[in-house]
Amino acid sequence: MQQADAFLEESLALHALIADRGDALAAPTQFKGWTVEDVVAHLHHLNLAVELALESEAAFATKAKPLIAQMMKGRPMLEVQRDDLGDLTGGALVDAWRETSERLADAFRGADPKQRVPWFGPSMSARTAATARHMETWAHGESVFDALGAAREETDRVRNVAHLAVQTIPYAFQVRGEAPPAPPLHVRLVAPSGAIWSWNEADGEPHLEGSAVELCRVATQTRSAADTALVARGAAAERWLRIAQCFAGPAVEPPAPGTRFRRPTVYPR
């Protein structure tokens, strides 16, 4: 499964940035004030949950139901994951996250891509679950690269994130009680390699056009659309740039202009 390989490659790229850098784990990110360690713990925690989901619905329910109950009572996700992971912190956490990422990638490769996988919301196919793990690793990884002032070397594996971003355009409208665009928005993007990717072909100019990486940043809310060179044509495309959200859950407001950016200097070792 190509998505499994891309997920692991994304995980290893982030691991290479933070491995043996215990000093960097305490660095604050621009995502809710989480530290780099908080981000790694979150990725690890959900990787463990997906492992159980691939195993069986019963195995996942054993883990998921208590966590959902706590969050329904108002406990922040960060607190819930800290309690669940216990004393796993620092370098041991980073090592465990990498090991789990490798195991999970193997589990995805061995799964039927169409297998239904339970989740905290609706179930999804194993292929979509792998894409979602890639997307979340890429998106949260962006906050870590930003916090440490490092430039990530983007590759065409980001197409998985772009595909999910385009596929969830209707969701961004529906979660706000708005009608999704009809017909679907025609999207044309330039890949890191320079290749042209397009979705929902239509006559005339695309509704959304620009850098694939920038569109992924907007869809994952790691950048404000105002801080990109993306071009939107038409009211629906312009509206999507203001509400883009490719992750599940209730409507979340995108970051304000200028609030998500790469640290201007490299975080000291």
Same domain, 187 and 93: no
Cβ–Cβ < 8 Å for 144, 18 = yes
Same domain, 88 and 201: no
User: How far lies 164's CA from each of 43, 59, 79, 205, 243, in Å?
Assistant: 18, 27, 28, 22, 15
Which of helix, strand or coil describes residue 170?
helix
**What pLDDT is attached to residue 248?**
84
Higher pLDDT, 186 or 62: 186
Same domain, 71 and 194: no
Does 264 map to a domain? no
Same domain, 127 and 214: no
**What pLDDT is attached to residue 185?**
94
Same domain, 10 and 127: yes
- How many C-beta atoms lie closer than 10 Å to residue 106's C-beta? 12
| pLDDT at 207 exceeding the cut of 80 | yes
**Model confidence over 30-73: pLDDT tens digits?**
999 899 999 999 999 999 999 999 999 898 888 777 777 777 67
Does 251 map to a domain? no
- Alpha-carbon torsion angle 148, 150, 189, 163, nearest 10: -50
Domain of residue 115 covers: 2-150
Same domain, 166 and 125: no
Say which amino acid occupies 133: R
CATH number, domain of 133, equals 1.20.120.450
**What pLDDT is attached to residue 103?**
97
Same domain, 208 and 82: no
Does 253 map to a domain? no
**What pLDDT is attached to residue 63?**
78
**Model confidence over 143-166: pLDDT tens digits?**
999 999 999 999 999 999 999 999
**What pLDDT is attached to residue 97?**
97
Does 126 map to a domain? yes
Does 260 map to a domain? no
Does 183 map to a domain? yes
Number of domains in the chain: 2
Handedness of CA 219, 220, 221, 225 (dihedral sign): negative
